[in-house]
Amino acid sequence: MAAVVPYRIPATDAMSCSMPAADVTDDDAYRAGELLAGTTAELGRRLRRAGIR
């Protein structure tokens, strides 16, 4: 899974996470996706506040 770091338009950066499909449940994947989305959103906020565009 991957999520864009939302601080530039158009987006130029993203973070991703991979895991073995055979070892992960749907709930695990959902939680990892939420964590990844929250992390990239916070990183984007910090970069915009710092004036990095």
Instruction: Print pLDDT tens along the chain (53 aa).
Output: 999 999 999 999 999 999 999 999 999 999 999 999 999 999 999 999 999 98
Indicate the SS3 state at residue 16: strand
Q: What is the model's pLDDT at position 53? A: 82
Cis peptide leading into 20, omega within 30 of 0?
A: no
Structure token digits, residue 5: 């770091």
pLDDT at 7: 94
Measured CA to CA, the distance from residue 17 to residue 34 in angstroms comes to 11
Model pTM?
A: 0.85
